[in-house]
Amino acid sequence: MTVWTPTDDGYADLSSHDTFAHGAPHNTFARLRREDPLHWTEFAGGKNFWSVTRYEDITVMNKNTEVFSSARGIRMEDQSYEEYLARRTFQETDPPEHSKVRMKLLKAFSKTTMAQYEQDIRDLCADILDQALAKGEFDATKEIARQLPMRMLGRVVGLPEADLPWLVEKGDALIANTDPDFTSHVLDKMQTDEFRMMPFNSPAGAELYIYAKELMEEKARKGDTSGVLNLILEPAKDGSVITETEFRNFFCLLVAAGNDTTRYSIAAGIQAMCHQPELLVQMQEGGAVWDTAADEIIRWATPALYFRRTATRDVEMHGKTIREGDKVLYWFVSANRDESQFDDPFHVNLHRSPNRHLSFGQFGPHVCLGMWLARLEVTVLFQELAKRIRHIEAAGPHKFLRSNFVGGIKELPVRVEAV
Amino acid sequence: MQVTWRLPGGKAVTATVDYGQSLMEAALANDVPGVAGECGGSLACATCHVYVDPAWAAKCGEAGEFEGAMLDLAEHRRETSRLSCQLETHPDLDGLVLEVPAS
């Protein structure tokens, strides 16, 4: 068997965050795709769940929201109905309810709206890269990948520059709530359940709730509609306006989901440049490569490792019965390495086309709202990076986040030779 | 049935497609550039936007309310704009001509 992750013998525990601290267990995913595409996965921290690992299965199931619902939670951890009600965002709803909220947000994140930020992104990239590259040797996640999404979030939402580091810290505590580097309330090691009613089961969620409320009030008082807020607050076509709770939930989602996913896409791209030196050459050749490069980098990264659904009725699949109430996980990270969908999936091919990866949860109603911003940020960042360097290499081993939900390189020591 | 997608720049893709699918799915199956269908037909993304050739517009009908709201978010919307995930393959549409917007 090809060994992608040396610590993975093909039988890794997918329910364990520790497994992913060495990178995604690709040997296990490859075996499951081949031998057991609907795998009953034991979970010490709650009810067992189904793991779906094949590309085609996920694309079919992801559309079928009547049978596979988002409205009972989207992570593998179990939650009670009261916890669900207190913590949910529109990610945890199904159409048509989901569509109504999404409608109010789509314009703010449409391709056209985001395209207007290209120059802003380019200026920020120049600033970030000039500072980082001058160091010669540095942690690329910290100095580059973490910087751009945070600062763009500030621009897009219209937040004070001074608040950004605090917001990113809170966002990390929310979404990386299983890595002790990012939170003192490690989700699967908590002794009490005092935070269970808070967004993401985390005190950071409560702090962000308060911040969002105050931000809205302050902006309303000043008549400030900078960033995309005016688009979000505008009534939708049916006359409905976003409610305060919807906004606050959405704001948490934006800070958490909008931040680290792009960060880990950029980090994965930089890491790929270190082990496939031809990528820099291809980027420097430019032209058509930029139509496809961002999607390939985002496929390679797959920061959202899975999302969960819950079966609303019994359903047969691959000779097994998924029972009503069973949790079903779509492992996007596995689908994005599925040999039946992607030629040479373990190779980064910046010219890959078509490239129908599932990193944004494509082929379902929950497809990433921020995908246009993410693609633009990734494209511009690598355009600007490629202009500025002659060579890039690893300066030591990289480290992965301890999370089976968000896949990412949290430390990426690199050495660069600037132009 | 036969469908032709006219591409920006003058080229075209013509293909014979099966019934029982949407024209977005048919476009994906034939690798038509510029039709992505990223939300799988759940009216959440507007990435399968096409213009219906005026000769076929009446047969394709008008966009529904939700589809219309989504089309407001698409680039370069026209009178004949539709989301191809909402157009079903059908014997009445044999020979259909669609145009893919410039991206």
**Complex ipTM value:** 0.85
The number of CA neighbours under 13 Å toward the Cβ of A87 is: 24
Q: How many CB atoms are closer than 10 A to CB A168?
A: 22
Q: Is the pLDDT assigned to residue A192 strictly greater than 80?
A: no
Q: How many CB atoms are closer than 10 A to CB A13?
A: 15
List of chain A residues whose C-beta atoms are within 8 Å of the C-beta of residue B34:
none
List of chain A residues whose C-beta atoms are within 8 Å of the C-beta of residue B43:
99, 365
Provide the whole-model pTM: 0.92
pLDDT in the model for residue A1: 40
Q: How far is CA A126 from CA A143, A148, A152, A263, A360, in A?
A: 13, 10, 13, 16, 27
Helical ranges in A158-276 per DSSP H: 164-175, 203-222, 229-233, 244-275
Tell me the two tokens of residue A154.
């500030």
Q: How far is CA A18 from CA A5, A13, A15, A333, B50, in A?
A: 13, 9, 9, 16, 46
Q: Is the pLDDT assigned to residue A121 strictly greater than 80?
A: yes
pLDDT in the model for residue A196: 60
Q: Which residues pair with A322 in a beta bridge?
A: A315
Q: How far is CA A304 from CA A97, A193, A222, in A?
A: 23, 25, 37
B101 touches chain A (CB under 8 A): no
Q: What is the mean pLDDT of residues A224-244?
A: 77
List of chain B residues whose C-beta atoms are within 8 Å of the C-beta of residue A57:
none
CA–CA gap between residue A242 and residue A104 (Å, rounded): 7
Q: Report residue A277's pLDDT band, with 50, 70 and 90 as the boundaries.
A: very high
A364 touches chain B (CB under 8 A): yes
> What is the nearest CA distance from A95 to chain B, expressed in angstroms?
9
Q: Is the pLDDT assigned to residue B8 strictly greater than 90?
A: yes
Residues A350-362: pLDDT tens digits? 999 999 999 999 9
How many interchain CB pairs under 8 A, A with B? Answer: 55
Share of chain A above pLDDT 70, in %: 93
CA-based nearest residue in chain B for residue A108: B73
Would you list the DSSP string of A282-295? Answer: HHHH-TTHHHHHHH
pLDDT in the model for residue A187: 66
Residues A376-417: pLDDT tens digits? 999 999 999 999 999 999 999 999 999 999 999 999 999 999
Least confident range of A187-191, A242-246, A334-338, A377-381:
A187-191
Q: Among partner residues A59, A107, A365, which is closest to B44 by beta-carbon distance?
A: A365
For chain B, what is the mean pLDDT?
A: 93
| Interface contact A112-B75, CB threshold 8 A | yes
The number of CA neighbours under 13 Å toward the Cβ of A75 is: 26
User: What is the dihedral sign for C-alpha A290, A296, A301, A302?
Assistant: positive
